Amino acid sequence: MLDRFNKFIEKWMAFVTPLCLLVGVCFPDVAKHGLPYVTYVFAFMTFTGALKSRFRDVANVIRNPGSLITIMLMLHIAIPAAAYGMGHLLFPNNMNLITGMVLEFSIPTAVASMMWVSIFDGNSSLSLSLVVIDTVLAPFIIPFTLHFLIGSNVSIDVGGMMKELLYMVALPAVAAMCLNQLSHGKVMETWPKKLAPFSKMALMFVVTSNSSKVAPYIRQMNLQRVAVAVAILVLAAGGYFLGWLIAKLTHQDQKTTISMVYGTGMRNISTGAVLAVAYFPSEVVYPVMIGTLFQQILAAISGKMLTKNK
């Protein structure tokens, strides 16, 4: 039954996360009771997602790091800078919205990207290494990016943010790889399949709980918030396109192209939502969470276009 549930959620992932967002918005008084547990549930998600990772796979990619470095530069320099520029262009007098846009595109690549890369037969080793390295570096990259682009315009608890990311992202990922190493790969052969349904439930819990914080802004939608949603959609779609463009310009093969598209296009939105809820005014949560509406749908469309292009 759990296996059937997992396959069903994977098949309809493009609609599951927006539905969870809708539930949190419609029933915020119920959903908000999950907020105290989000960090622990997210740590479990990271651990489960990293169970297919091995230090050896990461080392193999690092020996030829060209594609990996290219994706990281796009993820954490080009796209956050574009978000910062668009935020100032559209909302020059609202630093909360600008901060939310920058935070949305400063968070690490999504663990779910590995699922889409697997579906469309991409370079799994590259995607795996990207997720592991980007996840482990997140406690340093996110505060630095926010401090560099946003600076003193908003109050940022860098120490608290790094500690939060360390506990819910970096340490669980390293723990999963250590288990694989100590078990000589036996853990990665059995645990991921058994824990996958619970990981999907955890994702639904995190999205629903965090949505309670953005409920007032979605319920009282105005032209400015519609503009924010459109800006996030454009930037998110631009991430996929940029990954494809750079792959073509650098003459990558089809498998690497698929991994670059998903690596630059998908973000671990739940990470951004947890940080936004914990360390920023509630208005910052809106640009982060609204990306949940688009990400999986864009992932599905991108995969179809890549297959057709091939």
3-state secondary structure 204-221: HHHHHHHHHHHHHHHHCC
Q: Which residue has the higher pLDDT, 120 or 250?
A: 250
pLDDT at 150: 87
Is 8 part of a structural domain of the chain?
no
Instruction: Examine residue 27 and state whether it is found in any structural domain, yes or no.
Output: no
Q: Is the pLDDT of residue 192 over 80?
A: yes
pLDDT of residue 94: 92
Tell me whether residue 239 is in a domain: yes
Q: What is the pLDDT of residues 7-61, one digit of tens each?
A: 888 778 778 888 888 899 899 999 999 989 988 988 898 888 778 778 887 788 8
Residue 116, domain CATH: 1.20.1530.20
Per the CB < 8 A criterion, the answer to whether 83 and 105 are in contact is yes
**Is the pLDDT confidence value at 239 over 80?**
yes
Taking only the tens place, the pLDDT of each residue in 264-284 is 999 988 788 888 888 888 889
Question: What is the tally of structural domains in the chain?
Answer: 1
Range of the domain at 81: 33-309
pLDDT at 152 over 60: no
**Which run of H or E residues covers position 142?**
helix 124-149
Percent of the chain with pLDDT over 90: 33
Per the structure block, which two tokens stand in for 200? 């999907």
Q: Other CB atoms closer than 10 Å to residue 140's CB: what's the count? A: 14
From residue 148, how far is each of 84, 151, 154, 224, 257 by CA, in Å? 11, 6, 12, 26, 30
Residue 91 lies in a domain: yes
Hunting for tokens 């470095």 — which residue is that? 69
Q: What gap in Å lies between CA 227 and CA 243, rounded to an integer? A: 24
The token duo for 191 is 């645990």
Look at residue 250 and tell me if it is in a domain.
yes
- Please report which helix (H) or strand (E) contains residue 182, including its range: helix 171-182
The reply to whether 137 falls in a domain is yes
**Cα(173)–Cα(170) distance, rounded to whole angstroms?**
5
Nearest-CA neighbor of 285 among 238, 225, 235, 205?
225
How much is the pTM? 0.80
CA dihedral for 41, 132, 213, 157, sign (positive or negative): positive
Tokens of 115: 């699922």
Q: Is residue 3 part of a domain?
A: no
pLDDT at position 241 is 96
Q: What is the pLDDT of residue 310?
A: 55
Is there a domain that residue 174 lies in?
A: yes
Average pLDDT over residues 71-90: 95
